[in-house]
Amino acid sequence: MKKKCMLLFVCCLLAIPVTALAEFINIATGSTGGTYYPVGATMANIWRDNIPGAKASAQSTGGTVNNIQLLRAGEAEACICDGMYYDAYYGMGSYADRAHPFLRGIAVLYPDVVHFVVAKNSDIKTVADLKGKRVGVGPVGGSVPLLTQAILAAAGLDMRKDMRPEYLGHAETTAAFADKHIDAAIAVGSLGIASVVEMTTLGTAKVLPLDADIITTVCASAPYFTPYAIPSSSYKGQDETLSTLSIPNIVAVHEKLSPDLVYHMTRLLFEHKKDLVAVAASMESMKAENVAQIKIPLHPGAEKYYREQGILP
């Protein structure tokens, strides 16, 4: 009788339809007031609404460096990151002797623009004038402090010795200018980033160009830096085109994610691009053919998508 009951129980289990296993997708983004967070939150919504069983969420973070740490610790499955992902994967620069070979690319998003911002009535004209000043250098855990140091080094300055660095996110930087707590800042984000729009609209800060020699020096330091021109009238009070730098942003995932899951994650980003553009106009730059710009290996799931599109052989 016991054997018959057990057999009946097993048969009942086999009769139950198999459903999709829940997939947790936490995407690490950036600080509020920037572009990473709203874009990442929209990505999470897209995945949650269109991948059966997926439990997707977006986490506000300090930025790229923090995001890569979260992937390494298993506290995130995906992240948005700037060119620092290249250094992390290959163990270069600030990641010397600490390679992160688990990183895999899935899509190129948009270029991050370096904004050299100073207080509205400041006498600061060039990066060299930052000596002795209070400078917003980005949040702890992000890549902006590292980028800021590279820009300062090109001008012969040291971030910790020659000025007073303030580790602030986008919203905090905006508030610091309003409170006259800082003299300048390096703000990195998409063209038209909300924090810089707010500063310039309120009249608490203005955007300046970077010197040509600084742009040349920084671009020579890593393959992901490129010269960039901020078109005139991009921000209130900006009457001329401003020379600066840009860095490509990508979505990266941990290699442990299943190819099937990453295939759908990649596919859905492009199929729901209009939703991403609705929260950040810079997402119009996201094109499948830009995958060639990714400087680390692609995840096999992403490769499958690009092959289907005829972009990869």
Task: Give the Cα separation of 9 and 230 in Å (integer).
Answer: 68
β-strand pairing of 54-59 with 23-28 = parallel
Give the mean pLDDT of 206-231: 94
User: pLDDT over 70 for what percent of the chain?
Assistant: 93
> For the segment 157-169, what is each residue's pLDDT rounded down to a tens digit?
999 999 999 999 9
CB 238, CB 230: distance < 8 Å: yes
Task: Give the Cα separation of 122 and 241 in Å (integer).
Answer: 20
> For the segment 9-55, what is each residue's pLDDT rounded down to a tens digit?
434 433 333 234 458 999 999 988 788 999 999 999 999 999 999 99
CB 222, CB 162: distance < 8 Å: no
Q: Which residues contact 274 (CB under 8 A, 6 or more apart)?
A: none
| pTM beyond cutoff 0.85 | no
Task: Give the Cα separation of 99 and 95 in Å (integer).
Answer: 6
Tokens representing 20 are 């999709």
Task: Give the Cα separation of 222 and 246 in Å (integer).
Answer: 12
pLDDT of residue 260: 97
β-strand pairing of 226-230 with 134-136 = unpaired
Task: Give the Cα separation of 134 and 121 in Å (integer).
Answer: 15
> For the segment 171-217, what is each residue's pLDDT rounded down to a tens digit?
999 999 999 999 999 999 889 988 999 999 999 999 999 999 999 99
289 pLDDT higher than 90: yes
Task: Give the Cα separation of 200 and 220 in Å (integer).
Answer: 31
Burial of residue 46, with CB atoms counted within 10 A of its CB: 0-12 exposed, 13-18 middle, 19 or more buried: buried
User: pLDDT over 90 for what percent of the chain?
Assistant: 81
pLDDT of residue 26: 98
pLDDT of residue 1: 47
